[in-house]
Amino acid sequence: MKNKQTAKMSKFLIISVLSVCAGILAWWIVTDVLELFRSNVLPSPVKVMQTFMKKWVETKPDGATLLQHLFASLKVALGGYLIGAAIGIPLGIFMAWNDKIDMLVRPVFDLVRTIPGVAWTSVMVTLVGIGYMSKALVIFISAMVAMVINSYSGIKQTKTVHLWVGQTFGASNWELLTKVAIPSALPMIFTGLDVALGSAWTTLVAAELLASTRGLGFMIQQARGIFRLDIVIVGMVVIAITGAILSTIIRKIGNKIVKGGRLG
């Protein structure tokens, strides 16, 4: 019974592997073998792989190596993200904890959050010009919005029973917030950190496409201009992998902390 189940599992794993291999093979056949697509429309997987290896040391054609672009992007994204989280989390908690503030601020916030991150790029570029500041500001806003939403709903979901327990032990309002509400909101806050990271990273790519002189978004935009699709695909892959790695890190940290801090 048990063996049957594991046999079944590995059968589907094999199908998955075959599926991916078939996909790459088909890609290779239509490009390198049959030459149905030229490399300025669809570069072959071999070409993309070669470019990926070379781009770590080569600065052509956009003036920087892959690593330099990656660091430029990370610097902006993490800077805006950290400040966004530092302001967004307390703001969300505060909004959720204080009813009056909630009623006052919530409609404004609901309006502001419907504005897509990309739209802020135009505002910031016009306000402070192209550069580190405008990009960091845009990322700050989109990260902050995600943070506020999640920590807000985390606090709002605090179980009334838990608050009652706190009250019967004579906890003050401040103690209720820090000892009961915030610990029980931690999982949501970490979800927020994950979501915010996703939107920060996405917004960054948009900002770099629109207004930048360095970074992964800039790199793929430049490569598109000269029909170097191999570089475009390499850039997309690096963007995706970096985003996935950052999100995994946040989730790992979250699991560690939330396990220890969760209410019983």
Partner 1 sequence: MRAFEKNKRLILGAVGIFVFLCIWYIATKSTTLGKVMPDPVTVFGGFFTAFVEPIGTKTMTMHILISLRRMLVPYAIGGFTGVLIGILMGWYKVADAIFMPYIQMLRPIPPIAWIPLSIIWFGFDEGSKYFLIFLACFFTIALTTYNGVHSVDETLVRASRMLGANDRQLFMTIVLPTTVPYIFSGLQVALGSAWATIVAAEMIRSSEGVGWLIVRGQDIGNMTQIMIGIVAIALTGLLITTLMRVLENKLCAWTVRGK
Q: Which residues bind partner 1 (CB under 8 A)?
A: 12-13, 15-16, 19-20, 23, 40-41, 100, 103-108, 110-112, 114-119, 121-123, 125-127, 201-202, 205-206, 209-210, 217, 220-221, 223-224, 227, 229, 232-233, 235-236, 239-241, 243-244
User: Min. distance of Cβ 232 from partner 1 in angstroms?
Assistant: 5
114: region left, alpha or beta (phi > 0 left; psi from -120 to 50 alpha):
alpha
Whose Cβ is closer to partner 1: residue 18's or residue 263's?
A: 18
User: Min. distance of Cβ 261 from partner 1 in angstroms?
Assistant: 27
Between 45-54 and 229-261, two packed helices, what is the crossing angle to 10 degrees? 70
Q: What is the 3-state secondary structure (H, E, C) of 191-249?
A: HHHHHHHHHHHHHHHHHHHHCCCCCHHHHHHHHHHCCCHHHHHHHHHHHHHHHHHHHHH
Q: Which residues contact 120 (CB under 8 A, 6 or more apart)?
A: 137, 138, 141, 142, 203
Whose Cβ is closer to partner 1: residue 12's or residue 174's?
A: 12
Tell me the CA end-to-end span of the chain in Å, nearest whole number.
36
User: Min. distance of Cβ 210 from partner 1 in angstroms?
Assistant: 7
Between 117-128 and 132-156, two packed helices, what is the crossing angle to 10 degrees? 140
Whose Cβ is closer to partner 1: residue 178's or residue 248's?
A: 248
Residue written as token pair 């890609």: 27
User: Min. distance of Cβ 233 from partner 1 in angstroms?
Assistant: 7
User: Min. distance of Cβ 135 from partner 1 in angstroms?
Assistant: 14
Whose Cβ is closer to partner 1: residue 26's or residue 263's?
A: 26
User: Min. distance of Cβ 117 from partner 1 in angstroms?
Assistant: 7
Whose Cβ is closer to partner 1: residue 89's or residue 197's?
A: 197
d(CA 104, CA 196): 24
Whose Cβ is closer to partner 1: residue 51's or residue 221's?
A: 221
**C-alpha torsion angle, residues 6, 9, 15, 21 (rounded to 10):** -80
